[in-house]
Amino acid sequence: MIGPTPAQITEELRRFQARLAEGARTLHGLGPIETGVLSRDPVYQEDKLILYRYQPRVAEPHPVPLLIVYALVNRPYMMDLQEDRSLIRGLLDAGLDVYLIDWGYPDAGDRHLSLADYILRYIGHCVDHLRERHDQDSINLLGVCQGGALSLCFAALHSGKIRNLVTMVTPVDFHTPDNVLTHLIRHVDVDLLVDTLGNLPGQLLNFTFLSLSPFRLAGQKYVDLVDILDDVQALKNFLRMEKWIFDSPDQAGEAFRQFAKDFFQQNKLVKGEVVIGGQRVDLRNVTMPVLNVYASQDHLVPPAASKALAGCCGSRDYSELSFKGGHIGIYVSGRAQREVPPAIAAWLLAR
């Protein structure tokens, strides 16, 4: 039954408009929106890449550093979005010494960067820098989403340099039936795409992500925003997330070509057929301890796509951590702050 009378609907619309008008003024007066709240220092730089060290939050951090490899898609400040939503803070509080690769924003000059550049050169140089800096033969590596797939490739090719590997919401089998991103990219002529555009524009990626749930992400979200326009704190939280969503770097053309074709379209990672810099990536060479963290309600990287790692990596010390939440919630939800960093830190500190 329809409860509200026409007069009540008119009144509801009037209140909505009034809140919108008042809120638009609040929005204009908000001032700068900050993301990435923790203190950090650049310790290594190569091309557009900057390797940051986060200031430790304990007197004597763990001697083996942890290197976070974020995806090339979107910006890594999602790992340290705000004071009370920071996975990195949780890792620091647990006593870890945390480093993060910021890939920067590729431009036309980066069109020819390949996956070999990203994996062997960039990740490789960061790993070597940290091994030397901390006087360690091997370091801990945490790969996030696509960064997890890149980390797996590196770990398979240089297993001696990685003491422990953590993968977070990382796709391994790209052809599980519920993988909607693969479904969308399967019929795209990737060669035509890269040959035509050079780098893949971030806006095209944005469209792809928005098109997965357009009525919620491009419609309802903004109608609901009107409800919180008078709450400065909630508004700032919304805008931080909004900033991150639309802050999509272009993707270096050649790296995208290989990732889209070999990983998404041909599912070569799980088959052991990916070739990086002339070397075949065999996940059976991932022999170090592995913690595979996935989100049970992840619609971008379905749990089955991540859990496939169990069946193809060579580690005898393989564990999984299932987080009840989605692909973004695993970084920023309140429960994630309580559950995920302590679990990762405890697992690392025990090894």
Partner 1 sequence: MAEQTDSPDPSGFDIELLLKQARTYLAFGEQLQPLSERFHETLGQDGDWGEALRQHFDQLKAALAEAADDPGGHADLARLWTVTLDTWRQTAASLGVPATLAPLAGVNAKAWQAYQSVQGQYLDLLRQAARDALDLMEQRLGERAAAGATVESLRELYNLWVECNEETYGRMLRGPDYGALNGRLLNALLGCHARGDTPA
Q: Per-residue string for binding with partner 1, 243-272, x by CB under 8 A? A: x--xx-------------------------
**Two tokens at 132?**
């030397």
Task: Please tell me whether residue 31 binds partner 1 under the rule CB under 8 A.
Answer: yes
> Which residue number, 188 or 321, has a Cβ lying nearer to partner 1?
188
One of 33, 232, 275, 310 touching partner 1 (CB under 8 A): 33
Cβ-in-10-Å burial (0-12, 13-18, 19+) of 344 comes to buried
Helix (H, G, I), strand (E, B) or coil at 114: coil
- CB-based contact 260:188 (threshold 8 Å): yes
Give residue for tokens 């909004």.
242
Closest CB 101 distance from partner 1, rounded Å: 15
> Which residue number, 77 or 294, has a Cβ lying nearer to partner 1?
77
**Two tokens at 238?**
């919304």
Task: Please tell me whether residue 234 binds partner 1 under the rule CB under 8 A.
Answer: no
In sequence order, what are the beta bridge partners of 68?
100, 142
Task: Please tell me whether residue 204 binds partner 1 under the rule CB under 8 A.
Answer: yes
Task: Please tell me whether residue 43 binds partner 1 under the rule CB under 8 A.
Answer: no
Closest CB 336 distance from partner 1, rounded Å: 21
- CB-based contact 262:268 (threshold 8 Å): yes
| Catalytic residue positions, numbered | 145
The H-or-E segment that residue 41 falls in is strand 40-46
- Binding residues vs partner 1 (CB under 8 A): 1-6, 8-10, 12-13, 16-17, 20, 24, 27-28, 30-41, 52, 77, 180, 183-189, 192-193, 195-197, 201, 203-204, 206-207, 210-216, 218-223, 225-226, 239, 242-243, 246-247
